[in-house]
């Protein structure tokens, strides 16, 4: 099957079919499309036409489509559904997806939907999961899984798998527990198939297994699953009892949201904002850091004004103000980006601050010598004089060192304080390094003028 391409013409075609209530053609159009493709179509339709289209599809498919919608889109979309209609789809969702959907609904709707669920085990699963914050392992897990008692035989295990697997879409592994539901290990399907039917599970299961407690942060779970290349990871409580599992699709969502959040923070955007949000919401998200940049620019202008006498003596110094500012900002962002990456993937865990600063100093030294040499040669070639060449080159060396220092130290300190270190990048470091760079530049010029 070829990749689905969504176009304006196709949306107009679907709208026309909905307007004419051509249900047969609508079903044919949706036949063969993956749920995420249909979710993209619904995202482009108005609420009522989207609901009509969803109503023409199989309920199981409709549940998958709802689960794949963007949360903000789904929240608005479900406002036109009754609690009975929502319950029909929630009945068919995995418990973690059902909780994500219901957590976005008003409390009244949430309680009505849970009361209407035909599958009471599903209702119990949902109530259990709603106790957890969505940013911890307990909030990410789903209750549906396949488990076997350590005292069973392979034959008993197979019979139980057949029963349990009816509620589980994908069986990644069989988790082994004792009589108190304490997680003991895991059992691969291959071992079950190859073993004799009377063999005890106790002699087959693998005790070496990665698991997480319910209170572990989502970022920690994502890091574990990436490090050990896991498709699923079991979740236990503080007593070690097996409660659920987290699958790779939920972790991909966590990683994507984290990357999006860090990118926006680095760009100076506060809060969760999208291109199609209201003008006022976008303005509020952008304005705080723009104001920081504006204040920084005004301070820089005032700072430069203090050195008007020096500029009057050597007017050519003004031409190099942009390169001093941009070099400090660029070096700071480059350095902080590398530090952010190491903080995110834990690649530099255990390294002392001194070692990091020493490495940064060597890199800054090499970069500053190369850049300052090039600029010095340019000044001499252009006939700007030895004084200006020396001032600009020395300033660049100092600016690159200081910007590297700030780019290294600021994210580390923010991380230690429990603040998202991504906010150290973008507007903050750029503005700070502009001020530092101008101060160094004119300070060196002022000192040399007196010599």
3-class secondary structure, 423: helix
Give rounded-to-5 percent helix, strand, coil for the chain.
Answer: 65, 5, 25
Pairwise CA distance, residues 243 & 388, whole Å: 70
| pTM over cut 0.85 | no
Q: Where are the domains of the chain?
A: 8-133, 147-252, 279-450
For domain 8-133, the CATH architecture is Alpha Horseshoe (1.25)
Mutual angle of helices 23-30 and 8-19, in 10-degree steps = 150
Pairwise CA distance, residues 292 & 272, whole Å: 19
Order the strands of the 147-149 sheet from edge to edge. Answer: 147-149, 174-177, 183-187
CATH placement of domain 147-252: 3.10.580.10
**CA 438 to each of CA 43, 243, 429, 444: distance values in angstroms, whole numbers, following the listed order:** 49, 58, 14, 10
Pairwise CA distance, residues 451 & 443, whole Å: 13
Mutual angle of helices 8-19 and 47-55, in 10-degree steps = 70
Q: What is the pLDDT along the chain (451 residues), one digit of tens a residue?
A: 457 788 889 999 999 999 998 889 998 888 878 888 999 899 889 999 999 999 999 998 999 999 988 888 899 999 999 999 999 999 999 899 999 999 999 999 999 999 999 888 889 999 999 989 988 999 999 998 889 999 999 999 888 888 877 767 677 789 999 999 999 999 988 888 889 989 999 999 999 889 999 999 998 898 898 888 888 999 999 999 999 999 888 888 787 777 666 666 666 566 666 666 677 777 777 777 777 777 877 877 777 777 777 777 778 888 888 888 888 878 888 888 788 777 766 655 556 777 878 888 898 889 989 999 999 999 898 888 888 888 889 989 988 888 888 888 888 887 787 777 766 566 677 777 777 888 888 888 878 766 5
Domains 147-252 and 279-450 share a fold: no
Give the CATH number of domain 279-450; options: 1.10.357.20, 3.30.300.30, 1.25.40.420, 3.40.50.300: 1.10.357.20
- Biggest CA-to-CA distance, the chain: 96
The contacts of residue 437 (CB under 8 Å, 6+ apart) are: 324, 325, 327, 328, 395, 399, 402, 403
């Amino acid at each position: 099957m070829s990749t689905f391409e969504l176009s304006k013409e196709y949306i107009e075609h679907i709208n026309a079919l909905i307007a004419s209530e051509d249900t047969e053609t609508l079903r044919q159009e949706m036949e063969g499309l993956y749920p995420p493709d249909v979710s993209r179509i619904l995202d482009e339709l108005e609420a009522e036409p989207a609901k009509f289209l969803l109503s023409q599809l199989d309920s199981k498919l409709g549940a998958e489509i709802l689960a794949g919608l963007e949360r903000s889109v789904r929240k608005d979309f479900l406002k036109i559904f009754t609690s009975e209609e929502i319950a029909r789809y929630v009945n068919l969702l995995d418990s973690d997806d059902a909780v994500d959907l219901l957590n976005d609904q008003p409390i009244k709707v949430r309680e009505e939907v849970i009361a209407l669920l035909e599958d009471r085990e599903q209702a119990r699963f949902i109530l259990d999961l709603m106790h957890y914050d969505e940013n911890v392992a307990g909030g990410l897990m789903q209750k549906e899984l396949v488990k076997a008692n350590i005292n069973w035989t392979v034959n008993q295990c197979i019979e139980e798998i057949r029963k349990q697997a009816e509620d589980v879409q994908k069986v990644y592994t069989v988790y082994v527990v004792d009589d108190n539901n304490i997680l003991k290990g895991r059992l691969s399907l291959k071992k079950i198939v190859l073993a004799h039917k009377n063999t005890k599970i106790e002699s087959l299961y693998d005790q070496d297994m990665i698991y997480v407690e319910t209170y572990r942060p989502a970022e920690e779970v994502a890091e574990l699953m990436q490090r050990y290349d896991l498709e699923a990871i079991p979740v236990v409580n503080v007593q070690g009892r097996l409660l659920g599992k987290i699958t790779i699709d939920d972790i991909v969502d966590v990683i994507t949201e984290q990357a999006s959040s860090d990118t926006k923070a680095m760009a100076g955007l506060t809060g969760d904002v999208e291109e199609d949000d209201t003008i006022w919401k976008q303005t509020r998200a952008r304005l705080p850091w723009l104001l920081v940049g504006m204040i920084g620019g005004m301070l820089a202008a005032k700072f430069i004004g203090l050195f008007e006498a020096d500029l009057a003596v050597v007017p050519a110094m003004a031409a190099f103000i942009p390169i001093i500012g941009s070099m400090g900002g660029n070096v700071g962002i480059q350095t902080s980006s590398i530090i952010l990456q190491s903080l995110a993937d834990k690649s530099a865990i255990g390294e002392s601050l001194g070692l990091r600063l020493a490495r940064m100093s060597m890199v800054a030294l090499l970069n500053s010598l190369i850049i300052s040499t090039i600029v010095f040669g340019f000044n001499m070639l252009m006939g700007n004089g030895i004084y200006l060449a020396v001032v600009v080159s020395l300033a660049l060396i100092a600016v690159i060192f200081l910007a590297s220092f700030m780019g290294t130290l600021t994210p580390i300190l923010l991380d230690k304080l429990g603040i998202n270190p991504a906010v150290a990048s973008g507007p903050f470091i750029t503005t700070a390094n502009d001020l530092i760079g101008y101060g160094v530049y004119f300070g060196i010029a002022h000192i040399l003028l007196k010599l």
